[in-house]
Amino acid sequence: MGRRVNTIIIVPHNKAKFFKFSFSTRTAIFAGILAVGLLVFSIVAIVYTGTGVTRRNEVRNLVQENRSLRMVNDKLSRTISQVQARLDEFEERTKRLALVAGMQTAGGTLDQQGSQGELGRGGPFDRVPEDPAQLKAQASWIEKHLDSVERVIRSRTRMLASTPSIAPAMGVITDGFGPRKDPFTGLPAFHRGLDIAARRGTPIEAPADGIVVFAGHEHGYGRVIRLSHGFGYATVFGHLSKILVHPGERVHRGEIIGRVGSSGRSTGPHLHYEVHVDGKAVNPLYYILNAF
């Protein structure tokens, strides 16, 4: 059997000349396979080229992101260093405040997990690792102990303000605290306060911050004022000629509360001044720092 031949005749429009192509079936099959191969190769080449462009874009983006991340990391490292410096400063300030407040220690330390150690056991803070949780734990530690120091300082400030410390009136001490002879009976007696002789009308000042718990007349004391200062302190002012405060009124150290007189059981113008600590009368001279 002879080789099969295929013929294609192309006749242009309105022209007598025509073109004829003859080819075998094997050649047609080969040409078809070649065309399909070229088509597949073109598709693969297009896909590969597009993928390559995409990958190059991705690599370029990754390079830019890495550069940005390095900048962010550098900035974060600088920020952590600055925060560490501030923590060191706060630590030192906490220690100084603790000393001022009379505290033996500013507190404990933080262990490696960021939890608080036992109080009074350690020295300075551990260095801050590059861990936000640990950084936050140390900041909380400092804040907590600063609050503790501030509470102690506020308490001590209130206590100092409430401690009698100035002479309630300026004059001459005519009788001290302790055993004596009663000026009216001549019998042994115990004098619970301090007698300060002064001109009638001499102003009497509150020796500390406090609240007026009594302002009126008492047998023996005449016109009297009683102040409660808190922290166990109380003061009494007797034989006044005039009372200038009212019960329930809050007074401050140095504020004028009355005037010297000779009311009640008195031999002449003077101030009878008592200081009580936890309900017990003590020598007022121990609580006068600016006179006598």
pLDDT of amino acid 25: 73
Both 134 and 192 in a single domain? no
Q: Which residues of 273-291 are buried (b: 16+ CB within 10 A; e: fewer)?
A: bbbbeeeebbebeebbeee
pLDDT of amino acid 217: 96
Residue 292 lies in a domain: no
pLDDT of amino acid 121: 38
pLDDT of amino acid 30: 79
Both 275 and 178 in a single domain? yes
Domain containing residue 140? 79-162
Round to whole Å and give the CA distance between 248 and 33. Answer: 113
Residue 152 lies in a domain: yes
Instruction: Read off the DSSP letter of residue 110.
Output: B
Both 180 and 281 in a single domain? yes
- For tokens 């009297």, the residue is 224
Residue 167 lies in a domain: no
Write out the two tokens for 243.
Answer: 């009372």
Round to whole Å and give the CA distance between 68 and 16. Answer: 74
Q: How many CB atoms lie within 10 A of CB 242?
A: 15
177: CB partners within 8 A, 6+ apart: 191, 192, 193, 194, 281, 282, 283, 284, 285
Identify whether the C-beta of residue 126 lies closer than 8 Å to the C-beta of residue 110: yes
| Domain final residue pick, 51, 70, 89 | 70
The neighbouring-strand residues paired with 235 are: 227, 275
pLDDT of amino acid 109: 46
Supply the angle between the helices 132-162 and 25-100 in degrees, to the nearest 10. 20
Burial (CB < 10 A; 0-12, 13-18, 19+), residue 174, is middle
Round to whole Å and give the CA distance between 169 and 19. Answer: 140
Both 155 and 182 in a single domain? no
> How many domains does the chain fold into?
3
- From first to last of the 292 residues of the chain, give the pLDDT tens digit: 456 676 766 667 666 666 666 767 777 777 778 878 888 877 877 777 767 667 777 878 888 888 888 887 778 777 777 777 777 777 777 777 777 666 765 455 444 334 444 333 344 444 445 566 666 776 777 777 778 877 887 888 888 899 999 999 999 999 999 888 877 777 888 999 999 999 999 999 999 999 999 999 999 999 999 999 999 999 999 999 999 999 999 999 999 999 999 999 998 999 999 999 999 999 999 999 887 6
Both 131 and 25 in a single domain? no
Both 224 and 176 in a single domain? yes
pLDDT of amino acid 101: 67
93: CB partners within 8 A, 6+ apart: 146
Residue 122 lies in a domain: yes
In single-letter form, the type of residue at position 208 comes to: A
Instruction: Read off the DSSP letter of residue 200.
Output: T
Strands (E), 147-193: 172-175, 178-181, 188-191
Strands (E), 145-265: 172-175, 178-181, 188-191, 194-197, 203-205, 210-218, 222-230, 233-243, 250-251, 256-260
pLDDT of amino acid 148: 80
Residue 28 lies in a domain: yes
